[in-house]
Structure 1
């Protein structure tokens, strides 16, 4: 079911706030976006300098992937955010929601010479053969680097960006956030297991594929997870839903 731009604003604001609550963010860096046009070229993204914990639905900026004038506005997005997400929304239109963070354990995995995530438990198995590892880091995500990174994703939900962080792409905000949460949990388990120095118990490829398939077929999991998160914010931080006049006017004109 298609969601209105207002609903997308509210849900993305929820994702920002929960990323802060779960310590998946990094200062005023990192960025989330969601496409609002059919071709993905118009999308919502966070303004530069706004902390994830304070994002409201009306704070999110509507920008166009083909219009560099988006960077000229006084509340412009971060330059790397606009470059990377513009390239991704242009080149991967199926990736409606894109979440990029430098979360602790995923970034630790991205720093290892071997950044593969072995199937040592069922959260790790959820991402078996579903992660692209970028081994060509060439500086911040600007210009040619943003274009290069944007073409790596393909049909996988996770891009582990070597020497950098993690990027999650999904058709919905709920699915993207659920993947981000569980990928970070899987990385935490793996890094913790490595820290013991003891031999890992690694499942067979057959069992890993079976478990991954079971995850993908689990009924309504991401939506139920995200709706629960929204319910908590509705009680504890209801201001995350606040719109501003410009955002409301845009929504009304769709």
Structure 2
């Protein structure tokens, strides 16, 4: 057992988060030393774990994660303070969207391409895309870096609990969920869906769009598919363990 485990709470959640960071980097869905993943650790969601300021996703270990209090601006003053945009966006989400226990914000390539189009809708052209039918919100009011005011504005867009992906126009994507496994799985499949759509557009051919009723049926079937998210993350951790990764330290 790693000695860090003796004096750190929420160890299993920290390990899950560290694995998610490592795989996000491996899939090239990170961006330099920017982007953030956070997880609420108290009942109202206002205390949360997140990555330390400007540490590369591929190096993050469970013990590196910092605890942030969304109601305490002094969080920004300590030696391990998160960067101000992380505080602004994730603090806003955890203060104002109680069902968003986990939040993942990345500038992954294909989701960001979609967010750069005048029409940022994701039509249900395959099974993965259908997963997100009527389950995302588009932010078309980008106002600069995600400092506190921008974070509050974005949080207000998650008014429908069914919508768990925000296509952040001119910016990237924000994915929310109950657990690390659920949220990572959603982020992974959203990026896959965006890639399928963008590559389909590049052919210049007419798209085969599913009818709304079939898209909704498919989305509901995938939402209730047993343990896909749990098994997905468990397998990724198993691969990391086989490789001798330091993520769980």
TM-score bracket, normalised by the shorter chain, equals over 0.9
1:84 to partner: Cα distance = 0.9
Distance in 1 separating the partners of 2:16 and 2:148: 29
Task: Note if 1:140 corresponds to 2:145.
Answer: yes
Task: Look up the SS of the partner of 1:95 in the other structure.
Answer: coil
Task: Note if 1:20 corresponds to 2:25.
Answer: yes
Distance in 2 separating the partners of 1:206 and 1:162: 27
Contact 2:88 2:150 in 1 (8 A): no
1:223 to partner: Cα distance = 0.5
Which stretches of structure 1, 4 residues or longer, exceed 3 Å deviation after superposition? none
The within-5 A match list for 1:170-249 is 170-242=177-249
1:237 to partner: Cα distance = 3.9
Unaligned runs of 5+ in 1: 243-254
Distance in 2 separating the partners of 1:55 and 1:77: 14
1:75 to partner: Cα distance = 1.9
Distance in 1 separating the partners of 2:104 and 2:74: 23
Report the count of equivalent residues: 239
Residue 84 of structure 1: aligned partner: 89
Unaligned runs of 5+ in 2: 1-8
Task: Look up the SS of the partner of 1:27 in the other structure.
Answer: coil
Normalising by structure 2, report the TM-score. Answer: 0.94
Task: Look up the SS of the partner of 1:136 in the other structure.
Answer: coil
1:105-127: per-residue Cα shift (whole Å, max 9, x none)?
A: 00000000000000100000000
The within-5 A match list for 1:106-145 is 106-145=111-150
RMSD across aligned positions (CA): 0.9
Distance in 2 separating the partners of 1:6 and 1:138: 36
Residue 245 of structure 1: aligned partner: none
Distance in 2 separating the partners of 1:5 and 1:49: 22
Question: In the alignment, which of 22, 30, 34 is matched to residue 29 of structure 1?
Answer: 34
Task: Look up the SS of the partner of 2:247 in the other structure.
Answer: helix
